[in-house]
C-alpha cells in the first residue's frame, strides 16, 4: 500500500473524531510566504518531493498562479500529522491557502468561514503591513483564532546584516504590532485569550523557503540561540538547519496546541456566523458540532472543475452522505448530493460520507453558489442561513467585454453565470442589444483574471481598459412628497435623504440575525448609528447598495408591528384630503410591503443623472393608503404612484454622482519618495500621513479609483517597479464639479444613452 493511499484511509478514520481535526487557513500580505510554507507542509505529508518544497507552489495549481507567482484562488488539502508527544493521537489538518492580493480579498473572507484558526505569515523585513492588518481583521470578524509565523528570517542575516540586538528588537516590534491588531479588532475572548506570545509558543520563527522553523522552547531544548542560525548562513551550511528544525514540525505542533478543534470553535463561533437562534435544537447541534444532529453546511467556495460545479463547504452539524436529499436555504429549493469528496490539492478523493467538523467537496448540485447554506431536508421550516460574509472591499473597477462574434453571446452569458456563481465579488451587466457586457470587480487584476478565464472556457473576447464604477445619491434632504395613483384611490407620502457615513458603514457589515430581530435591531442601531427608535423599529429593507426603506406608518395610519413582526391595524387617522372610506382601505400586508420594496428597488437601479445605481439613500414612508379592491390597487397603479413620489423627492434632494475612493498604503524606498508624492498630487490624491523606518518610507493617501488606475501605470514606470502599494476601498464621494460633465458624457456614451 502506498503512503498516499494509507494516508487517505487514516484521514477518513480521523474525520469521525472532532478532537483530532484542525481547520486551518494560511493568510497574510502578498509575497510574505503563504504558499511557500504550504509546500513544506505538503512535503512532510508525502504529497510533494522534499527537493521541490518551497518552490513547487503546489496549492497554486492554476497556470496563471504559477506564472505570476501569486495565489489567486483559495486551495484546500487534508494533511495527516502525527504529534511527537507520547500517546498523542494523530491529527487531521484541513489546510486552506489563500490569496494575499487585495483584489482577491473576497476569497480570503469566504475561506475564513470554513476555518477555526489561521497562521498569519509576516515577512520579518517588511513587518506588519497594511494587508496584515486587513487579514487579521477579517479573521477576527469571523471569530477565527490567529497564530503568528515570522518568516524570511534568513533575509535579516543575508540582506540587512542586522546584529542580534537589532533582530530581537525587530521580533519584539512585530509581535507587539500584531497583538495591537488583536486588541483593536477582537472581541473580549480574543483580547483575553488570543494574544500571541513567543514564550508560550504561539509565535513561530523561520524561513519557509529554506524549510526551517522554531519556537522558543525548541531553542531551549537544543541549547541554541539566534547566533546558531546566523553562523549557518555565514559558513554556507544553512541547508542543514531544516533537518534539526523542520518548519512543518514547529508549525503543526503550534496548530495542534493553539487552534481549537471544531467542537470547541463552534461553541463560540456559532453566534457570530449563523443567523438562527442558538438556543434551538439546531443551534445547539451546531455549537456541539454534533454528527448525529440535523445537517447544516456553510458553502465557502464554488469552482468549475472539468465542466462540473464543485462546492467546498464546512459541515457544521450532522453527517453528509452521498445521495442525500437536502435544502438550499438561500435558493429555496430541494437538491441531492450526487458526488462527495475530500480535497487533496488539485485532486479529490471520493468518499461515502463526511461527518460534522470537516470540509467537503460537493458535486452534482445545479444551483449551488458561494455563501449558500445547505440544510437537512427534514428541517426546512427551521432552516436559517449563515450570515453573509463581510467583505473588506467592493467591486469598484469595471471593464466592457464583448464577444468577437455576436453569435457567441449566449455562450458568453452561460460562462458569466458560472463565474458569478464561483465568485460573488464579480458583478455582471449584459446588453442584449449590443452584446456588450460590463464586468465589475475588486480591481484591475481581478478583472484581468476573469477575462482570461472567459477565454480559457472557449470564447474570444475584447476587453476595454479598466475604469471606475459610479453610483448616484442625493446631497440634501427632501420634504415629504405625496403622490396618488392614476385612478386617485391610492396615495403615499415619502421623503429621501442621504445616509450619514457611520450608518452606511454599519449597514455594509450588519448581521442578518440582528436586522431580523426587532429588539436587537433597535438597540444595535441606537447604539451604533444616529437612528431614532422609530426609524430602527420601522426598518423595512436594506439592499446591496446600502439603500434603506423605513416605514413610519404607525404615526399617521396606525399600522404597527407586534412582537412577531406582523402588521396589524390600529385606529386609523386619515388626512382630510383622503377620499376613500375607512372600510375601503387595504391593510398593508407583507405582500404589499414586499411589492413596495420591489418597486422602490427597481427605481434605485437607475439614477436620474446617468442611469447608475443609486446608493446610501434613506427612504422614509410616512403615510400610505392602499384600497382593498385588487383591481384598483394593481401593480400599474401602485408603481406609478411610488415613481411619482420618489422622483419628486430625488429632484428636490439634488441628485449627485458618486465615485469610489481608495485608501492607498504605499511602501517606497527613500530615494523614490519625492517621485511618489509628486505623482499623488498629479493624480489629485490627498496625502494623509508619511512615516519611515530605517529601511523604507510609508505613505497613507487617498485617491479616486478613477485616477488610481492611471497612477498605477505611471508609478511602475517611474520607479522601475520598486514601489509597492495596496488599495483599500474607503467610501463613495461626490465627483468633483470640474470633472462631472465629461464623466457623465462618457457613461452615457458607454451605455448607448448619448442621444437621450
In sequence order, the 6+-apart residues with CB closer than 8 A to the CB of 40 are 53, 54, 208, 211, 246, 247, 248, 251
What stretches in the chain show pLDDT beneath 50? 46-74, 555-585
Q: What fold is seen in the domain 473-653?
A: Ribosomal Protein S5; domain 2 (3.30.230)
List the grid coordinates of 168.
Answer: 530581537
CA distances from 751 to 400, 429, 655, 743 (A): 10, 11, 19, 12
Beta strands in 544-696 (DSSP E): 548-551, 560-561, 567-568, 585-586, 617-627, 655-668, 686-692
Q: Which residues pair with 93 in a beta bridge?
A: 22, 79
SS (H, E, C) 319-387: EEECCCEEEECCCCEEEECCEEEEEECCEEEECCEEECCCEEEEECCCCCCCCCEEEEHHHHHHCCCEC
CATH number of the structural domain 658-750: 3.30.70.240
CATH of 397-469, one of 3.30.70.1150, 3.30.70.870, 3.40.1280.10, 3.40.630.10: 3.30.70.870
Strand, coil or helix: 287 = helix
The superfamily in CATH containing domain 3-14+21-260 is P-loop containing nucleotide triphosphate hydrolases (3.40.50.300)
Q: Burial code of 95-108, b = ≥16 C-beta within 10 A, e = fewer?
A: bbbbbbbbbbbbbb
The average confidence (pLDDT) of the chain is 86
Residues 130-150: tens digit of each pLDDT: 778 888 999 999 999 999 999
Give how far the C-alpha of residue 164 lies from the chain's centroid of Cα atoms, to the nearest Å: 40
Domain spans of the chain, in order of start: 3-14+21-260, 265-382, 397-469, 473-653, 658-750
Give how far the C-alpha of residue 65 lies from the chain's centroid of Cα atoms, to the nearest Å: 20
User: In whole angstroms, what is the distance from residue 661 CA to residue 733 CA?
Assistant: 7
Alpha helices in 63-163 (DSSP H): 63-68, 105-113, 130-141, 154-158
Q: How many CB atoms lie within 10 A of CB 506?
A: 19
User: Is the fold of 397-469 the same as that of 473-653?
Assistant: no
For 79, phi then psi, to 5°, come to: -115, 145
Q: What fold is seen in the domain 265-382?
A: Elongation Factor Tu (Ef-tu); domain 3 (2.40.30)
Pick from 173, 169, 207, 203: which is nearest to 39 by CA? Answer: 207
CA distances from 286 to 133, 274, 379 (A): 30, 9, 14
Residues 485-525: tens digit of each pLDDT: 999 999 999 999 999 999 999 999 898 889 989 999 999 99
List the grid coordinates of 558.
Answer: 396606525
User: In whole angstroms, what is the distance from residue 116 CA to residue 358 CA?
Assistant: 11
Amino acid at each position: 500500500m502506498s503512503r498516499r493511499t494509507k494516508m487517505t484511509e487514516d484521514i477518513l478514520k480521523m474525520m469521525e473524531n472532532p478532537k483530532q481535526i484542525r481547520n486551518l487557513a494560511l493568510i497574510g500580505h502578498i509575497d510574505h510566504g503563504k504558499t511557500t510554507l504550504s509546500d513544506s507542509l505538503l512535503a512532510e505529508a508525502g504529497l510533494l518531493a522534499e527537493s521541490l518544497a518551497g518552490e513547487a507552489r503546489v496549492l497554486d495549481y492554476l497556470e496563471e498562479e504559477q506564472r505570476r507567482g501569486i495565489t489567486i484562488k483559495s486551495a484546500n488539502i487534508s494533511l495527516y500529522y502525527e504529534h511527537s508527544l507520547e500517546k498523542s493521537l494523530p491529527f487531521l489538518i484541513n489546510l486552506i491557502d489563500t490569496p494575499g492580493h487585495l483584489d482577491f480579498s473576497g476569497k480570503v473572507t469566504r475561506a475564513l468561514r470554513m476555518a477555526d484558526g489561521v497562521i498569519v505569515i509576516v515577512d520579518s523585513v517588511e513587518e506588519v503591513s497594511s494587508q496584515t492588518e486587513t487579514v487579521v481583521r477579517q479573521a477576527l470578524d469571523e471569530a477565527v483564532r490567529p497564530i503568528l509565523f515570522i518568516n524570511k528570517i534568513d533575509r535579516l542575516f543575508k540582506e540587512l546584516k542586522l546584529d542580534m540586538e537589532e533582530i530581537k528588537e525587530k521580533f519584539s516590534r512585530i509581535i507587539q504590532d500584531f497583538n495591537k491588531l488583536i486588541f483593536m479588532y477582537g472581541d473580549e475572548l480574543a483580547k483575553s485569550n488570543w494574544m500571541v506570545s513567543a514564550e508560550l509558543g504561539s509565535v513561530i520563527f523561520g524561513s519557509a523557503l529554506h524549510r526551517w522553523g522554531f519556537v522558543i522552547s525548541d531553542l531551549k531544548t537544543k541549547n541554541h540561540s539566534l547566533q546558531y542560525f546566523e553562523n549557518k548562513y555565514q559558513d554556507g551550511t544553512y541547508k542543514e538547519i531544516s533537518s534539526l528544525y523542520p518548519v512543518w514540525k514547529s508549525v503543526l505542533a503550534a496548530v495542534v496546541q493553539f487552534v481549537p478543534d471544531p467542537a470547541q470553535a463552534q461553541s463560540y463561533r456559532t453566534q457570530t456566523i449563523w443567523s438562527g437562534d442558538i438556543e434551538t435544537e439546531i443551534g445547539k447541534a451546531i455549537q456541539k458540532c454534533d454528527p448525529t444532529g440535523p445537517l447544516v453546511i456553510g458553502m465557502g467556495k464554488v469552482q468549475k472543475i472539468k465542466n462540473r460545479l464543485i462546492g467546498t463547504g464546512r459541515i457544521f452539524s450532522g453527517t453528509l452522505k452521498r445521495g442525500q436529499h437536502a435544502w438550499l436555504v438561500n435558493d429555496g429549493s430541494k437538491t441531492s448530493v450526487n458526488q462527495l469528496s475530500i480535497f487533496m490539492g488539485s485532486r479529490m478523493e471520493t468518499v461515502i460520507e463526511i461527518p460534522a467538523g470537516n470540509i467537503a467537496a460537493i458535486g452534482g448540485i445545479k444551483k449551488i453558489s458561494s455563501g449558500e447554506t445547505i440544510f437537512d431536508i427534514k428541517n426546512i421550516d427551521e432552516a436559517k442561513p449563515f450570515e453573509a460574509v463581510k467583505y473588506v472591499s467592493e467591486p469598484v473597477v469595471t471593464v466592457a467585454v464583448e464577444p468577437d462574434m455576436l453569435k457567441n453571446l449566449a455562450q458568453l452569458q452561460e460562462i458569466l453565470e458560472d463565474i458569478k456563481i464561483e465568485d460573488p465579488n464579480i458583478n455582471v451587466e449584459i446588453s442584449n442589444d449590443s452584446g456588450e457586457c460590463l464586468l465589475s470587480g475588486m480591481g484591475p487584476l481581478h478583472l484581468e483574471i476573469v477575462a482570461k478565464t472567459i477565454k480559457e472556457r472557449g470564447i474570444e473576447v475584447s476587453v476595454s481598459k479598466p475604469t471606475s464604477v459610479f453610483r448616484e445619491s442625493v446631497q440634501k434632504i427632501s420634504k415629504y412628497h405625496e403622490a396618488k395613483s392614476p385612478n386617485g384611490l391610492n396615495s403615499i407620502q415619502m421623503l429621501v435623504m442621504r445616509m450619514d457615513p457611520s450608518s452606511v458603514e454599519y449597514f455594509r457589515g450588519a448581521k442578518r440575525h440582528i436586522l431580523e430581530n426587532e429588539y436587537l435591531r433597535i438597540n444595535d442601531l441606537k447604539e451604533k448609528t444616529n437612528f431614532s427608535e422609530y426609524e430602527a423599529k420601522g426598518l423595512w429593507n436594506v439592499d446591496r447598495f446600502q439603500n434603506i426603506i423605513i416605514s413610519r406608518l404607525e404615526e399617521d395610519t396606525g399600522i404597527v408591528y407586534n412582537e412577531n413582526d406582523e402588521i396589524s391595524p390600529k385606529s386609523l387617522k386619515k388626512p382630510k384630503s383622503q377620499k376613500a372610506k375607512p372600510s375601503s382601505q387595504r391593510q398593508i400586508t407583507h405582500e404589499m410591503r414586499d411589492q413596495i420594496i420591489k418597486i422602490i428597488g427597481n427605481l434605485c437601479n437607475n439614477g436620474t443623472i446617468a442611469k447608475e445605481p443609486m446608493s446610501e439613500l434613506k427612504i422614509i414612508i410616512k403615510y400610505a393608503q392602499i384600497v382593498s379592491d385588487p383591481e384598483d390597487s394593481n401593480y400599474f397603479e401602485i408603481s406609478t404612484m411610488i415613481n411619482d413620489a420618489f422622483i419628486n423627492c430625488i429632484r428636490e434632494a439634488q441628485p449627485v454622482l458618486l465615485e469610489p475612493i481608495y485608501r492607498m498604503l504605499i511602501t517606497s524606498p527613500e530615494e523614490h519618495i519625492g517621485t511618489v508624492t509628486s505623482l499623488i498630487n498629479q493624480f489629485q490624491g490627498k496625502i494623509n500621513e508619511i512615516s519611515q523606518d530605517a529601511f523604507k518610507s510609508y505613505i497613507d493617501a487617498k485617491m479616486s479609483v478613477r485616477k488610481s488606475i492611471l497612477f498605477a501605470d505611471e508609478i511602475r514606470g517611474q520607479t522601475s517597479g520598486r514601489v509597492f502599494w495596496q488599495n483599500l476601498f474607503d467610501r463613495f464621494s461626490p465627483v468633483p464639479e470640474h470633472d462631472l460633465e465629461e464623466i457623465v458624457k462618457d457613461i452615457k456614451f458607454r451605455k448607448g444613452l448619448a442621444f437621450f
